Structure 1
């Protein structure tokens, strides 16, 4: 059995504009990679609110119709989870090809609200997460921030695949690399761009990574970064990822690589902390 036929792309559904964009983005991602789509809404029962289950069901049906309009014929299922949305999404992210969620208005906050569902899912999910926005992104290239010269980096892998699908070009931003690492990365990008038929450019810049990438991402249609925490699989978010979640105009994809067998988890089975870390 093809693993993509049983591993879903998971999208959180809340009814917000960003959440509806999450459904559209998740449908496109699922279709491109051959995955089914799972739409999830969390319901915390309140005795003073009438017809909660019916309203939740209506919301999921609306999301299912949006997914069908976005990609006709996509295999879509829905799930209503009881309790807080964060716990349900973290649990489902264990077996998700990608978890997609609206940002909850992060651009409108003075400070990044670390307790928000979008930030916590991005920080603690067991795999790659896409955070979508309420406003449409500029029609620009895919932008990816890198720290080294390894073309096998899963962050670069995701960015190349996204750029190939969207045909909008790719900008790879390397901040503070040595001359030798920059040369190796430039050669590797050129070779892969030719193979993948992607218009890819490297920008090797100096400065504070958070400041540089925030500026470079202004016209991007999609921003791809690594989690850059202390754990290679999931856990802490780096300062670059946090800054772009807070200030980026485009959807942000936080990529995680190989799963770690040693993890410190809470009762949800997810990492227990979100701490700002600089990129390595």
Structure 2
């Protein structure tokens, strides 16, 4: 056994990181970096750090996969996470076959109906609708187009393609015109625009082709929109599942009102809005705006639970409900003076059942969701039940805590 001198090696992660940055800058700018260049070394999970930096950035740019990425997987875990949660556009570059990169964020947009093509910033005065080629999504697009026309605002049709998350082979098959996954995604988007124009030929349409999971993109792109419209289920939804996971997630997490379209049997019917004991001012305001825009009658309903002991107390129950509805009707008249308004008190052990019974033949059901269930990011049980059993479109407005914003549909 022989012994030699041992010289410890001291590894400095900060120094190593700066060396990596310097090498990258040298390669990118051929050794002559621009005057305005800042190199920052951060500690922590890469995706978390990049998402935090995106709050004040114009764009985040990254490679599709880093070290230890699986062969054949187009987007690595970091790229996919940043694309899903970043607060600004994200550009993911994937090899030399896609020199322009893959846009994973809002920006690939064009305007139809007299507008110019280009990546102009979308107007807040718009209705956003998701389209994936399914029959449910087509119904949602037609509903959204009609209501964008009623509200006199722009319609933004969004298609999210999942293919770039699964493969890098997006181009056409050699010798076959119109082939390839990229072409297919654009064709689906064009189909969505055609559905919209078939019912509202004069509506202003903006289209966006995005890559990645739809829930995150739609939530972000509709952040300041008037309304987000979704089909009840998309392609790949389980048979018998009445409302898909994307629709449920966005109904619970979107910052604007969310309309879920499963049926549209009575477009000329009335609008029914359910209010709770607080008066549901935000929900009532949205219902008034929709009734005024569409010319529909408005029914305001309040449900008394039969097993609630206050329903049988003197001065409570029916009397309190009628006073609540009188106040709500007065407020609604101020918001929509041209709308015929009726009131209805229902008594049932189930709030959703009473609301659905009163809403038979309605064009739209408007409900609030406080989402105070066991799961964070889930809608309340009443709104959940209405979504699953309604035979009319359902518009959900989250009733946020004080300091939040309840919705963007304005009168």
Report the TM-score range of the alignment, normalised by the length of the smaller protein.
0.7 to 0.9
- CA offset digits 1:96-155 (Å, max 9, x no partner): 221111001899636x66x6111111111122101112x4323532111111363x7121
Residue 186 (str. 1) matches residue 186 (str. 2)? no
CA 1:35–1:165: 2 relative to 1, 3 Å: closer
Q: Any runs of at least 4 consecutive aligned residues in structure 1 with deviations exceeding 6 A, and if so which?
A: 105-108, 258-262
Aligned equivalent of 1:44, options 154, 162, 179: 162
2:278, 2:182 → 1: CA distance? 51
Does the residue aligned with 1:253 lie in a helix, a strand or coil? strand
CA contact (8 A) 2:321 2:345 kept: no
- Name 2:271's counterpart in structure 1: 142
CA 1:70–1:206: 2 relative to 1, 3 Å: same
CA contact (8 A) 2:248 2:379 kept: no
1:120, 1:102 → 2: CA distance? 13
Q: CA deviation at 1:213?
A: 1.4
- Name 1:225's counterpart in structure 2: 367
- Name 1:53's counterpart in structure 2: 182
CA 1:145–1:107: 2 relative to 1, 3 Å: farther
Q: CA deviation at 1:187?
A: 4.8
- Name 2:300's counterpart in structure 1: 172
- Name 2:248's counterpart in structure 1: 119
Aligned equivalent of 2:148, options 25, 30, 38: 30
After superposing the two structures, state which structure 1 stretch, 243-252 or 68-77, moved more. 68-77
- Name 2:57's counterpart in structure 1: none
- Name 2:206's counterpart in structure 1: 77
- CA offset digits 1:20-60 (Å, max 9, x no partner): 12112222332333332211111111448862221111111
- Greater RCO (Cα-Cα under 8 Å, separation 6 or more): 1
CA 1:188–1:95: 2 relative to 1, 3 Å: closer
Aligned equivalent of 1:104, options 228, 233, 258: 233
CA contact (8 A) 2:150 2:294 kept: no
- Name 1:272's counterpart in structure 2: none
Higher-Rg member (1/2): 2
CA contact (8 A) 1:10 1:98 kept: yes
Residue 64 (str. 1) matches residue 193 (str. 2)? yes
1:149, 1:170 → 2: CA distance? 19
The gaps in structure 1 that reach 5 residues or longer are: 263-280
Does the residue aligned with 1:74 lie in a helix, a strand or coil? coil
Q: TM-score, normalised by structure 2?
A: 0.55
2:134, 2:157 → 1: CA distance? 14
Q: CA deviation at 1:246?
A: 0.5
